[in-house]
A and B are shown apart, each in its own frame.
Chain A
Amino acid sequence: DTGVSQDPRHKITKRGQNVTFRCDPISEHNRLYWYRQTLGQGPEFLTYFQNEAQLEKSRLLSDRFSAERPKGSFSTLEIQRTEQGDSAMYLCASSTTVGELFFGEGSRLTVL
Chain B
Amino acid sequence: AQSVTQPDIHITVSEGASLELRCNYSYGATPYLFWYVQSPGQGLQLLLKYFSGDTLVQGIKGFEAEFKRSQSSFNLRKPSVHWSDAAEYFCAVGAKEYGNKLVFGAGTILRVKS
Count of interface residues, chain A, beta-carbon cutoff 8 Å? 27
Interface assignment of A70: CB less than 8 Å from any CB of chain B: no
CA gap between A44 and B102 in the complex, in Å: 9
B46 / chain A contacts, CB cutoff of 8 Å:
100-102
Number of A-B contacts defined by CB within 8 Å = 58
CA gap between A97 and B101 in the complex, in Å: 11
Name B's interface SS: strand
A99 / chain B contacts, CB cutoff of 8 Å:
100
> CB-nearest residue of chain B relative to A91?
B43
Stretch at the interface among B70-78, B79-87, B104-112: B104-112
Q: Contact: A104 with B105, CB < 8 Å?
A: no
Shortest Cβ gap from A104 to chain B (Å) = 5
Q: Contact: A55 with B99, CB < 8 Å?
A: yes
Q: Contact: A100 with B49, CB < 8 Å?
A: yes
Count of interface residues, chain B, beta-carbon cutoff 8 Å? 24
> CB-nearest residue of chain A relative to B96?
A98
B42 / chain A contacts, CB cutoff of 8 Å:
105-106
> CB-nearest residue of chain B relative to A55?
B99
Q: Which of A87-107 contact B (CB under 8 A)?
A: 91, 93, 95, 97-106
> CB-nearest residue of chain A relative to B100?
A95
Q: Contact: B102 with A31, CB < 8 Å?
A: no
> CB-nearest residue of chain B relative to A50?
B99
Q: Contact: B104 with A44, CB < 8 Å?
A: yes
Shortest Cβ gap from A57 to chain B (Å) = 11
**Do A100 and B90 form a contact, CB below 8 Å, given A48-B99, A56-B101, A105-B42?**
no
Interface assignment of A40: CB less than 8 Å from any CB of chain B: yes
Contact residues of B with A, CB < 8 Å? 4, 32, 34, 36, 41-46, 49, 90, 92, 94, 96, 99-107
